C-alpha cells in the first residue's frame, strides 16, 4: 500500500499538507488540493477510514440501540434477534456496518452525541419506552435533523419515523378466533403497560371481546414481563382457577410456553389444558406440544424496512432534506397474521 510519504513526494508537498487535504483541515489552495488528490489517486493511496470519514463526515455505520440488562441474554429474545437479522441484511446490502449500542433501562441515551461524534450516520432504536427523558432525547435528535427510526414503540403526538406491526388487529384476531369457537372464560396474560405494544394488545383484546358481546374479566387480566419465567409464575394463578378459565391468550410465545410448562410441572395433563394462543409466532410456537396458535409478527421484514428507510431515504440525502423528511409523521405498521395450530382448537 502506498504511504503518505510517497504521496507527498509525488505531489511535491509536505506530509502534513497531504493529511490536511485528506482530512479537510484548515484553508488549502485548490491547486495544492488537486495535486494531492491526483497523487493519492495515482498511487492508490488509501487514507484511514477515519480520515476519509472526517473529510466527508460519514462513518459508514448504521447505529442500533438495544435495551441492555446485565446477564439478561437479550439477543436470545426472538424478536430482537429477528429484527437485528433484518437490519443486518439490509445494512450488508448497502455496504454499511452495524454499530450495536446497549443502554440500561433507566439510562437516558444522548443519541445526538453519537451523531455529533460521527460514530453513526443513522440510528435504529429498539426497546424504547414512553418516558419523559427518552422523549426529550428523541425530540432533540429530530430537531437536529438526524436520521433515526423507532421500532416497536409508538410516541403519540410525535412525528417520529416509526416501524411497528398492527398489534391491535393481531390481538383482536386472536380473541375472535377464541370467541368464535365458543370460548368464554378467557384469561389475558399481557406485558408491562410501559410499552405501547402492551397497550395495543389490550385494546385489541377489548375490541375482540366487545365484538362477541363480552367483557374482559379484570380478575383474568394478568401481567408478566414477556419472559418465560413470568409465564411459569402466572401458571400458578391459572392452575388454581382452572375450572374458571377455558382459554389463555398470552402477549408473547415465551409467556404462553411458560404457562404450559408451569401447568405440566403441576401435573396437569395436556387434555385438561385450556386453549392457548401466543404472540410472535417464534420458532418455539411450532415446536411446542401441543403446537401453539400464535400471532405472526414480521420482525425480520420490520428490521429490513427500518434500515431501508434510513439508508435509502436518509443517509443518502443532504441534511436539509433529512430534517424536512423526518418532520413528516410516518408510522409504518406491518400486518400481523393469526397462525392457527392445535393448541386453540376445540
Binding site for a copy of itself (CB under 8 A): 1, 14-17, 19-20, 23, 25-27, 46, 48-51, 53-54, 59-61, 66, 68, 70-71, 73-76, 78, 80-82, 84-85, 88-89, 91-92, 97-102, 116-119, 228, 257, 261, 283-284, 286-289, 300
Of 26 and 218, CB closest to a copy of itself: 26
User: Whole-number minimum distance, CB 92 to a copy of itself, in Å?
Assistant: 5
* The C-alpha cell that represents 287 in the structure block: 415446536
Q: Name the phi and psi angles at 342, rounded to 5.
A: -60, -25
Cα separation, 126 vs 87, in Å, equals 11
- If the CB atoms of residues 54 and 212 are measured against a copy of itself, the closer one turns out to be 54
Kindly tell me which of 42 and 57 has the beta carbon lying closer to a copy of itself. Answer: 57
How big is the chain, counted in residues? Answer: 346
Angle at 219 between CA 213 and CA 220, to 5 degrees: 65
> Is the Cβ–Cβ distance between 4 and 23 less than 8 Å?
no
Cell output for 223: 401481567
Least Å distance, CB 123 to a copy of itself, is: 12
Of 99, 227, 253, whose CA–CA distance to 170 is shortest?
Answer: 253
Residue 125 Cβ vs a copy of itself, minimum distance, rounded to whole Å: 15
Cis status, amide bond into 290, omega within 30 of 0: yes
Whole-angstrom distance between the N-terminal and C-terminal Cα of the chain? 71
Nearest approach in angstroms of CB 305 to a copy of itself is: 15
Nearest CB to a copy of itself, comparing residues 16 and 221: 16
Nearest-approach distance from CB 99 to a copy of itself, in angstroms: 5
> Which grid coordinates belong to 14?
509536505
SS3 120: coil
| Smallest gap from residue 175 Cβ to a copy of itself (A) | 25
DSSP string, 241-255: TGGG-SEEEESSHHH
Can you name the residues that pair with 1 across neighbouring β-strands? none
Nearer to a copy of itself, 205 or 284 (CB): 284
Query: For residues 52 and 185, which CB has a smaller minimum distance to a copy of itself in the complex?
Result: 52
Amino acid at each position: 500500500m502506498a504511504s503518505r510519504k510517497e504521496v507527498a513526494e509525488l505531489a511535491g508537498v509536505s506530509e502534513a499538507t497531504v493529511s490536511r487535504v485528506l482530512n479537510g483541515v484548515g484553508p488549502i489552495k485548490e491547486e495544492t488540493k488537486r495535486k494531492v488528490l491526483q497523487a493519492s489517486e495515482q498511487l492508490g493511496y488509501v487514507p484511514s477510514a477515519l480520515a476519509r470519514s472526517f473529510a466527508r463526515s460519514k462513518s459508514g455505520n448504521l447505529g442500533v440501540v438495544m435495551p441492555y440488562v446485565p446477564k439478561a441474554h437479550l439477543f436470545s429474545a426472538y424478536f430482537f434477534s429477528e429484527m437485528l437479522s433484518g437490519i443486518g441484511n439490509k445494512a450488508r446490502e448497502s455496504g454499511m456496518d452495524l454499530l450495536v449500542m446497549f443502554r440500561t433501562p433507566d439510562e437516558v441515551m444522548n443519541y445526538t452525541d453519537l451523531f455529533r461524534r460521527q460514530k453513526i450516520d443513522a440510528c435504529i432504536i429498539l426497546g424504547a419506552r414512553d418516558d419523559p427523558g427518552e422523549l426529550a432525547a428523541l425530540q432533540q435528535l429530530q430537531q437536529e435533523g438526524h436520521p433515526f427510526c423507532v421500532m416497536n414503540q409508538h410516541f403519540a403526538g410525535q412525528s417520529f419515523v416509526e416501524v411497528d406491526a398492527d398489534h391491535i388487529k393481531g390481538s383482536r384476531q386472536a380473541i375472535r378466533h377464541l370467541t368464535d369457537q365458543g370460548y368464554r372464560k378467557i384469561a389475558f396474560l399481557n406485558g408491562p403497560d410501559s410499552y405501547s405494544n402492551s397497550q395495543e394488545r389490550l385494546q385489541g383484546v377489548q375490541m375482540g371481546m366487545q365484538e362477541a358481546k363480552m367483557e374482559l374479566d379484570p380478575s383474568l387480566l394478568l401481567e408478566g414481563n414477556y419472559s418465560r419465567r413470568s409465564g411459569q409464575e402466572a401458571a400458578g394463578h391459572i392452575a388454581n382457577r382452572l375450572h374458571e378459565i377455558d382459554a389463555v391468550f398470552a402477549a408473547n410465545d415465551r409467556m404462553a410456553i411458560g404457562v404450559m410448562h408451569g401447568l405440566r410441572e403441576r401435573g396437569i395433563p395436556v387434555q385438561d389444558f385450556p386453549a392457548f394462543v401466543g404472540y410472535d409466532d417464534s420458532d418455539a410456537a411450532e415446536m411446542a406440544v401441543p403446537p401453539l396458535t400464535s400471532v405472526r409478527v414480521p420482525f425480520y421484514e420490520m428490521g429490513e424496512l427500518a434500515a431501508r428507510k434510513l439508508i435509502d431515504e436518509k443517509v443518502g440525502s443532504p441534511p436539509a432534506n433529512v430534517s424536512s423528511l423526518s418532520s413528516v409523521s410516518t408510522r409504518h405498521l406491518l400486518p400481523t397474521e393469526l397462525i392457527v395450530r392445535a393448541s386453540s382448537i376445540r
